Every structure is written in C-alpha cells, then in structure tokens.
Amino acid sequence: MKNSQLVGGGIAMFAGAVFAQGSYDATVCDEQRFGNFTDPRVYLPNAWNDEKDEDGFICMSVDNSTPAFDVTWNWSTDIEDVHSFPYVRLNDDNLPTRLSGLHEIKLKVDWTMNYGTPSPPVRSFRQSSWDDSREELEEHNVQSNAAWDFFLDGNRTRTYNPVDADIEVMVWLGRVGDPYWLGRADNKHIGNVTLGDYDFGIYYDLNFRDRHVFSAIAESTTGILNFDEDLKPLFDYILENPEDIEDFPEDPWLGIVEFGSETWRSGGNVTFTAANFNMDLDADGHTPGDDEGSSGGGTSNGDDDSAAAVTALSAFGFAAPVAIMMGAVFA
Ligand SMILES: *[C@@H]1O[C@H](CO)[C@@H](O)[C@H](O)[C@H]1NC(C)=O
Ligand SMILES: *[C@@H]1O[C@H](CO)[C@@H](O)[C@H](O)[C@H]1NC(C)=O
Ligand SMILES: *[C@@H]1O[C@H](CO)[C@@H](O)[C@H](O)[C@H]1NC(C)=O
Ligand SMILES: *[C@@H]1O[C@H](CO)[C@@H](O)[C@H](O)[C@H]1NC(C)=O
Ligand SMILES: *[C@@H]1O[C@H](CO)[C@@H](O)[C@H](O)[C@H]1NC(C)=O
C-alpha cells in the first residue's frame, strides 16, 4: 500500500501532469499537521484565524514523496486580514545559523493557484497558464499570495517562535487581488535585491509588537512560478542592516524557513499547489559556545539545547507570522 503510494509520487514528479489522487500520504485540516517539527518537512494548514469565518475551511493534502501539497480553502468572510497561512517548513541540521555563517541558501519551489478544486491536482507549473488562473481568481474576489517566510532573532531559541522572534523576512513570489504587505502603505521601500533573474523591492517596518519585518516583493506582478535561487544576497542585506534601524541584532540567527500562501478571502474554493520544494543550505550552524554576545540590546544570546527548541516549536507551531497579524491593524 505504502509502496504503491511512493511509486505514485515518483511518477507524478517525472511525468509532470500525471498524479493519481490516491497518492496522498494524508489530508490535514485547520490546525492539524503532517509530520513532526524535527522532520525534514512538516506541513501545516495553519488556520490561525478561522474562528472569524465559521463557514470557511482549509484542508491540505500532502504528497511527501514528490514532495508536494494541494491546499483547498474557502474564506468568504472578508475580515481584511489573513485567515490562514498554509505552509511547508523545511528543516536542516545547520539551522539555526547565524547570518554571518550562512554561505548559501538555495531555495526551490514550483507553485500555482487555481479557482475551484482541480481534479486531478495540477502538477504542471507553467508561467503561461498563470495569467488565466489569476484572472479567474480575481473574478471571484480572491486575495492571496505565495511567499517564503523566515524568522530570525539575536537569541537562538527565539528563532523557533514566530510570535517572539525579533525579525520576520518574507519573500513574495506572487499575489492575487492586491494584498497588503507591511510597509506598503507608508511606501517604506528601503532597498532592492536581485535573486538570480528576479528583482525584488525590499520594504521594512516595525509591526505592532515592535518586531522588524522585511518584505521582499517581486517587481514583476506576473508571479514567479518556478523559483530556484540562492537567497544569500537578501540575508546579506539584512546582516548589513541599514544603520537607521534601531535595536537590531548585529548578527541574528536564522531559524525557521517556510513556504506557503497567505489567504485573505475568496468567493469560492481556491486551491494552492506547491511542489518540488527543496533547501540546499551551506551554513556553519551552531557550535557550542558561540552563543555569546552579538545582539543589539546586548542581552539576547541563544542559550538552549535542541530539546528546548523542540518544546518551543510545539507550543508555537500554529502561531501567526507576525507580518500577518499586522494586516489586522493596517489593512
Ligand atoms: C512524530 O513523533 C511521534 C513521537 O515521537 C511518532 O510517534 C510519530 O510517528 C511521528 N510522526 C511522524 C509523521 O513522523
Ligand atoms: C470545495 O472544496 C470542498 C473540500 O475540498 C469539496 O468538498 C467541494 O466539493 C468543493 N466544491 C467545489 C465546487 O469544488
Ligand atoms: C529600487 O529600484 C528602482 C528601480 O527598479 C528604483 O527606482 C528605486 O529607487 C530603488 N529603490 C531603492 C530604495 O534602492
Ligand atoms: C464558499 O463558502 C461560502 C460561504 O460559506 C458558500 O456560500 C459557498 O458555497 C462556498 N463555496 C464552495 C465552492 O464551497
Ligand atoms: C533566549 O530565549 C529564551 C526563550 O524565550 C529565554 O528563555 C532565554 O532566557 C533567552 N536568553 C537570553 C540570554 O536572553
């Protein structure tokens, strides 16, 4: 049984468009998850704001051998905020790592978004079909994005806690329905970065918890459906942070790496699909004794062992990314 599922996943990967619906490992909804936080990949529908739309739902079907997920949601209540951030989290033994010890962080993903519930699920990620899909989604009042999300802190333990982490970095690869990003309203466009072939504007602002939030927004509004780039230039920018940012850790730890979709609202089912995600990380990681110093406030040294980190993960796995919470205040 399990073997045939794995074979199904493999075929889907090579044939591109062929995928048998029975090949999923599991379907998880709302606040469930697939996988443990220490696994190489853990999947969460992450409906952290679902009580504000009792008739809405989000369910994620996981194919962990391709790997891929298809997540279908319908939030018809427009709360001018995000309802959920379904994501896959990618782990690596060398996370957390200090930004100064980061040599390469190559991140890969193919994604798309479609109106309705395509059957069989989409496994081709053609840029050319995206314009049509996006138009159809916008006709149905859909507001959503596709983004990498990262959490950093001067204290190694706190990188595992999306609510407490001092710094959030988002990289938006695409968007539908003109969603808000932090800093957009004030036009806090503080820089630009090029990742491979793609240009991004970097926006910065503090959120309502006084956390630093950087949003790298793809210049092209057409969306980057096949992404496979080293993000080191962006993290170098943050390491050499602009001098006028106060209370900024000198050499923060990067802890959490996620890819998913912020979901604001829809007029019907929306299916977000991501596949072939991967992280190639070349980083120094953590060596005992290098936790001292190196923070803006002078107090936030990492000091935990991995067991403590895992506890923190379990407690905060469903917490909203801090940038998302901002939407409620500024939207
Ligand atoms: C997660 O960990 C628990 C306890 O260690 C184990 O029983 C379970 O099988 C694991 N789940 C997955 C999906 O690996
Ligand atoms: C919407 O999604 C739900 C859950 O996947 C499914 O049961 C329902 O048939 C879908 N409706 C349409 C019109 O696709
Ligand atoms: C970013 O690049 C654009 C051109 O693409 C330029 O107009 C703008 O001044 C740059 N902004 C910053 C802050 O460097
Ligand atoms: C989406 O949710 C709304 C409100 O609950 C409902 O009227 C509509 O039928 C749903 N659409 C689908 C495709 O399930
Ligand atoms: C680092 O963060 C953890 C978790 O919040 C906390 O228990 C610890 O005291 C912090 N360490 C320092 C040196 O601030």
Residues 69-84 pLDDT 10s:
999 999 998 888 899 9
Mind spelling out the 3-state secondary structure of the chain?
Answer: CHHHHHHHHHHHHHHCCCCCHHHCCEEEECCCCECCCCCCEEEECCCCCHHHCCCCEEEEEEECCCCEEEEEEECCCCCCCCCECCEEEECCCCCCEEHHHEEEEEEEEEEEEEECCCCCCCCCCCHHHHHHHHHHHHHCCCEEEEEEEEEEECCCHHHHCCCCCCEEEEEEEEEECCCCCCCCCCCCEEEEEEECCEEEEEEEEECCCCCEEEEEEECCCCCCCEEEEECHHHHHHHHCCCCCCCCCCCCCEEEEEEEECCEEECCCCEEEEEEEEEEEEEECCCCCCCCCCCCCCCCCCCCCCHHHHHHHHHHHCCCCCHHHHHHHHHC
Using 50, 70 and 90 to split pLDDT, how confident is the model at 291? low
Tell me if 292 CB under 6 Å of ligand 5.
no
* Residue 253 in this model has a pLDDT that exceeds 50: yes
Using 50, 70 and 90 to split pLDDT, how confident is the model at 323? very low
* Residue 175 in this model has a pLDDT that exceeds 70: yes
Task: Specify the residue with its C-alpha closest to ligand 3, atom 9.
Answer: 191
Q: What share of the chain has pLDDT > 70, as a percent?
A: 80
Q: Which is more confident, 150 or 55?
A: 150
* Residue 12 in this model has a pLDDT that exceeds 60: no
Distance 266 CA to ligand 4 centre (A): 9
Cβ of 103: how many Cβ atoms within 10 Å? 12
- Ligand number, closest to the Cα atom of 298: 5
Cα angle for residues 73, 74, 80 (degrees, 5° grid): 110
Extract the tokens encoding 69: 């997920």
Candidate from 158, 164, 291, 306 with most ligand 5 atoms within 8 A of CB, to mutate: 158
Using 50, 70 and 90 to split pLDDT, how confident is the model at 19? low
Tell me if 36 CB under 6 Å of ligand 1.
yes
Residue 187 and residue 99: Cα distance in Å, rounded?
27
Q: What pLDDT score does 53 carry? A: 82
* Residue 17 in this model has a pLDDT that exceeds 50: no
* Of 292, 289, 320, 321, the residue nearest 48 (C-alpha): 320
* Residue 313 in this model has a pLDDT that exceeds 80: no
Candidate from 50, 76, 271 with most ligand 4 atoms within 8 A of CB, to mutate: 76
* Residue 125 in this model has a pLDDT that exceeds 80: yes
What are the tens digits of pLDDT across the range 30-71? 999 999 998 999 999 999 887 778 889 999 999 999 999 999
Residues lining ligand 2, Cβ inside 6 A: 59, 72, 116-117, 269
Distance 189 CA to ligand 3 centre (A): 8
Q: What share of the chain has pLDDT > 90, as a percent?
A: 66
- The mean per-residue pLDDT over the stretch 250-264 comes to 96
- The mean per-residue pLDDT over the stretch 298-307 comes to 36
Tell me if 189 CB under 6 Å of ligand 3.
yes
Q: Which is more confident, 38 or 324?
A: 38
Contact criterion met (CB below 8 Å) for 273 and 112: yes
- The mean per-residue pLDDT over the stretch 100-111 comes to 98
